Chain A
Amino acid sequence: MKTARVIYAQGDHRWLVVARDPSRPSYLIDTNEYLVAVGDDAILLDPGGTEIFPAVFSALSTEFDPRKISQIFASHQDPDVVPSLSLWLEFNPQIKCHISWLWASFVPHFGGSEETYVAIPDGGADIRVGGQRLQAIPAHYLHSPGNFHLYDPQAKILFSGDVGAALLPSGEDALFVEDFDRHIRHAEGFHRRWMGSEKAKRDWCNRVSQLDIDMLCPQHGAIYQGTQVKRFIDWFAQLEVGVLRG
């Protein structure tokens, strides 16, 4: 069963992560879901596939009233990212979903109406949660052609979708990266294969290097914090991507 943990709290501004589901079927990739709550408002980041909705809903409910989730942020269109939107919309039809304009007419196949979707332009956009301004940061072609990450300048946290993801073997289930060199081995093959564009990678590295980031939170695997964030960006910058093997 997944559990919800607070990874940042400052007054009524919190970041929660719903991570690690040892009871999930082995054929499903493990995912992290994040909730940014500010007062009585919240946005859920990459809510996941339909199969994991029960685990995400029940874990989140232990820390936050799910009726107060007003928005969903989908980094891209993948089956492990956004299909549970249809269930969240059953629960609360007023929820808005922020997603790249590129996917805004594809993802409604999962559910929702024209009013549900807020299309993010290629250059990014601000998303307000409570009184807090979050920023959708372009990450196109990493790996999806319409792809965004979400930066919280107050909390100094970057939700980085599939960038930074690691496919960890069973038993390695720490929430935060403990040994960078050991951890990054589980990220290497994934990034080489899934990240298809050198140019997009360089653009992203330049862009996020200018942000003040305390935590880099991927959708799979452990969270990078402190100096590990810069180490990861430097590692990614020099990694050859878009190759079958390397």
Chain B
Amino acid sequence: MPALIEDAGRELRRIVRINEEIKTVVARAFKTNLMAMNAIFLAKRAGQSALGFGVLSNELRQFAMDLQKQMAQLREMTHGSVAKLTALLRQARLSRVFERTRNESTGTGRMLIDEFMKNRQNTADARQSEQIAAHNRRLTQMIADTAQLAELGGVLARSAKIEAAYGGPFSAALTQVSSDFERTIGEIQHSLSGLGRQQVD
């Protein structure tokens, strides 16, 4: 029996933890989007001295929207993980009943069930385990890609902080906004590294 089946409960709890982290990141991405809209208006009020800050705020807004899309895909993948794991568990349960049937049968019945189980074992279980493993590899890759996207967000937030220093009379307000960006994106990066660890575990 594949090890994954024996650890199915652990696997389901892992998926639940991933979903919780996804929810956290989605909330932070939404917050980043709102903050970026406010920052764009603030940069417009600041005028010529905050042109660079305005460009970076636009980029941060785009980053937040890209991140939201990425998280929606991740959520779909974890739903897929649950569906695949459920199918594997169902197969495993059926396998256990067929094993009992084999033990209780004699003569023709034993021969038929032996032959049936041999064919079944070679196909269903192995194929489904491999599908789950492949799905997990894709999930790991997508989390890594999202972490890279968050790196970009971090860079944008730091650049916005530098640009804020040139904001003239608006400098203090822009610095405050860019610090908020930095903190929120830092939280996103923290959640994503947690997701990465869940996958490794």
Residues of A within 8 A of B (CB): 1, 50-51, 53-55, 57-58, 60-62, 65-67, 86-87, 90-91
Contact = CB atoms under 8 A, between A and B. Distances in A.
Contact of A87 (B98, B106, B109): B98
B94 A87 contact: yes
B94 A54 contact: no
Contact of B104 (A55, A67, A86, A90): A55
Contacts of A67: 112
Interface residues of B, number: 18
Given A51-B97, A54-B104, A57-B113, 13 more contacts: A1-B104, A50-B93, A53-B97, A54-B100, A54-B103, A55-B104, A57-B105, A57-B109, A61-B105, A62-B107, A62-B108, A62-B109, A87-B94
Nearest to A66: B112
A200 to B, nearest CB: 35
A91 B102 CA distance: 13
Contacts of A58: 101, 104-106, 109
A60 B103 CA distance: 15
Given A57-B113, A87-B94, A91-B116, A65 B101 contact: no
A61 B114 CA distance: 13
B116 to A, nearest CB: 6
A51 B116 CA distance: 19
B3 to A, nearest CB: 23
A61 B116 contact: no
20 contacts: A1-B104, A50-B93, A53-B101, A54-B97, A54-B103, A54-B104, A55-B104, A57-B104, A57-B105, A57-B113, A58-B101, A58-B106, A61-B105, A61-B109, A62-B106, A66-B112, A67-B112, A86-B94, A90-B98, A90-B120
A65 B116 CA distance: 14
A58 B111 CA distance: 11
A35 to B, nearest CB: 14
Contacts of B110: 61
A90 B94 contact: yes
A213 to B, nearest CB: 32
Contact of B109 (A51, A66, A90): A66
Nearest to B120: A90
A87 B107 CA distance: 20
Contacts of A1: 104
A87 B106 CA distance: 19
Contacts of B112: 61, 65-67
Contacts of B109: 57-58, 60-62, 66
